[in-house]
Structure 1
């Protein structure tokens, strides 16, 4: 671990060394998210830049404690092998955060709300709740059994979230719609969409040229919700309708079970020669991969909160200057129509995604010009540093005094 040229680096993540004077106050970030989660890192950078120290407690990598910078501490727990094991780690993560005795917590998990409220009441110290998802929609949409149970389940989950969050110091949420929801509950709220950090671009943006369109990329999570079955089917369809295309897919899994499920798909359907599976990479290296490609794929399925969400990957694709083939869902449709050049496809049909890639290849010159134009606008608007960081710095400075 080192700090060359103002960078704090570990084997899993990278931050910029803070330049703001230290306030000698610590914000603990207890989470059951994996080490190196991009939103957590972007938020932590904003907290550091507001003058606070940061202590991460998260899952994965080499277990243990370290201090990669005099204002950054890190505690890693073993990576869970399943969702159930992840939830079982919640009490341990919360207990470690309590023992750290920080000046405030910044939680990123719905599951930590009860323990965060208890800690806030016992200590009188502030907790910020970072809301990555539409949790009532997400969890009610995943319930097994009759659909008629989902509406009452949604009401119950909404009530639980409101009850616990309403006594916290503030919420930092990922969409304007969530912002309206939390402000309506009387909670101080900042809205920070999952825009990429400027570092994603590297030294300079590259122009899109027709040759790059023959490199198609998917960097999202490989689960059923994010279209793992469609991704495998798309590789086979591309081999048929666009044999000149190379399809690069990052092996990104939330659990060992998800990895096994994807490997099972490949065993059943085969791995075509055009499919290149890449090992996971640190967030700060993703931009280099994207810049080497011309078309990004997002195969989010129509389940739970999907209709309300814009995939973080779409923001990244737009900023780097990729064309896109994405699921035809309401929020995705609005974003792609306004901010990108691309094709919308039936989320369930790999052949529709392949036809979308073929269309972009057939109109290569026009696609490249339009993608570069949209990318310039995206870099100005979809910037964490310019749009989101000031809002979060204000919220944390008001809450942790």
Structure 2
């Protein structure tokens, strides 16, 4: 069996995308399209044919020129879908200028379509829009999303809550798999610094969390940022660790007392891409043996944190109440650590989870 994996704008080593490529290549031939901003040539390594497609992001210039460049990029990928020989096409994202066309072409050719829904697309796509434009955009993208799902044969979601919301909202009934953003391996450090860690590559709003961190500093905690230096925290003392290789990052993270996963991506609380997320930083933190502090509106994370006793749920708007919860958890820290160690394996990608993924895609 031959699989065409559409990474779209994801770079070659994107954790979620490349994980599926590696897993599928153990049983199938894989054609892997990924984004690059360099002049790379296609090549074959083992069962994988690597197909880089160049596109330079964030160039200054005319919006029309930018859009035309994106169309050119998308058409190169559509050409692969239209002309390459394969049995299954695995979409990690849709083509922004041809959001339904790529699905229709694959369906017309009689190919199986697997759609990995990383994000809640109707809200995440062009998420900077406000007011009427935001409302209209969501209506249009919701209709596009329904067409994509209708054309798909199998769907993969990052959380059960996202799957339930999407299927109910759009009246969809397709075979699905919940496949979160698992960590790569288990880490654990007996030595702990009295630190609150914030890890990740994407900067987000943390205005309320800033007040919580200030008070925790007064109680002897330090703040450590790994992978990003948040401007919103520029006026509070913190240590910054630049982006580092995964294993180094996990070792650094494993020394912290808590990992803070509380933020506001675009300025409103009911943003479903946050509410239903189970992000890499959540799984990496728990796999590193670190209890998490999560925002009470993050439904998917809250359910697991409360069920397994692996962290603290806070309301960032209630600064004093949140600080008290964190300090109380610190007083009973060993109980949290015991629970994290007990359930750590659930948050790591392993052979059983790989077999589940492959069985779903290939059966």
**TMscore range, shorter length:** 0.7 to 0.9
Deviation at 1:97, TM superposition (A): 5.1
CA offsets per residue over residues 85-111 of structure 1, 9 Å max, x none? 699243444345556544432111144
1:142 deviates by: 5.8
2:311 is matched with which residue: 317, 342, 363? 342
User: What residue is the counterpart of 1:124 in the other structure?
Assistant: 110
Which of 179, 185, 194 aligns to 1:192? It is 179
What are structure 1's unaligned runs of at least 5 residues? 1-22, 253-261
Residue of structure 2 aligned with 1:298, choices 241, 261, 270: 261
- In 2, Cα distance between equivalents of 1:98 and 1:75: 15
CA–CA separation in structure 2 for the residues paired with 1:368 and 1:129: 41
Aligned to 1:326: 294
- CA gap of 1:240–1:194, structure 2 versus 1, over 3 A, is closer
**Count of aligned pairs between the two proteins:** 344
| 8 A Cα contact 2:215 2:323, kept in partner | yes
TM-score calculated relative to the size of structure 2: 0.77
Counterpart-to-counterpart distance in 1, 2:132 and 2:105: 37
Counterpart residue number, 1:176 = 160
CA distance in 2, matches of 1:81, 1:230: 30
Q: Alignment partner for residue 136 of structure 1, among 95, 99, 122? A: 122
- In structure 2, the residue matched to 1:75 is 51
Q: Deviations over 1:15-64 (max 9, x none)?
A: xxxxxxxx5x2433331123322221222233223x11233322346441
Q: State how far apart, in whole Å, the 2-side matches of 1:371 and 1:153 are.
A: 44
Instruction: Tell me if structure 2 keeps the 8 A contact 1:341–1:371.
Output: yes
- For residue 128 of structure 1, report the CA deviation from its aligned partner: 1.2
Preserved contact between residue 248 and residue 277 of structure 1 (Cα < 8 Å): yes
The equivalent position to 1:216 in structure 2, one of 177, 183, 196, is 196
Closer/same/farther in 2, CA of residues 93 and 82 from structure 1, 3 Å limit: farther
The Cα shift of 1:122 comes to: 4.4
Match in the other structure for 1:31: 8
- State the Cα distance separating 1:65 from its structure 2 match: 2.7
Moved more, 39-48 or 112-121: 112-121
Cα distance in 1 between the residues matched to 2:318 and 2:13: 32
Q: Tell me if the contact between 2:198 and 2:260 (Cα under 8 Å) persists in the aligned partners.
A: yes
What value does the CA root-mean-square deviation take over the aligned residues?
3.7
Counterpart-to-counterpart distance in 1, 2:59 and 2:282: 27
Give, in angstroms, the shift of residue 352 of structure 1: 7.0
What are the within-5 Å matches in structure 2 for residues 229-268 of structure 1?
229=207, 233=210, 237=214, 240-243=217-220, 245-251=222-228, 265=231
- Counterpart in the other structure of 1:317: 285
Task: Report the CA distance between 1:335 and its aligned residue.
Answer: 2.2
Aligned pair in 2 of structure 1 residues 341, 169: CA closer, same or farther (>3 Å)?
closer
Residue equivalent to 1:373: 339
Match of 1:65 in 2: 41
User: Structure 1: how far apart are the matches of 2:328 and 2:240?
Assistant: 22
* Structure 2 match to 1:206: 188
Q: Which residue of 2 aligns with 1:8?
A: none
CA drift at 1:297: 1.1
Distance in 2 separating the partners of 1:32 and 1:388 = 26
Contact 1:60 1:78 in 2 (8 A): yes
CA distances 1:99-131 after superposition (whole Å, capped 9, x unpaired): 654443211114464132233144322221111
Measure the CA separation in 2 of the matches of 1:372 and 1:388. Answer: 24
Check whether the contact 2:117–2:157 (CA below 8 A) recurs between aligned residues.
yes
Shift of 1:156: 4.5
Q: Tell me which of 146, 150, 155 is aligned to 1:162.
A: 146
Q: Does 1:274 align with 2:238?
A: yes
Larger fraction in helix:
1
Determine if contact 1:230/1:299 at 8 Å carries over to the other structure: no
Contact 1:30 1:97 in 2 (8 A): no
CA distance in 2, matches of 1:292, 1:179: 34
Q: Aligned partners of 1:298 and 1:58: how far apart in 2?
A: 29
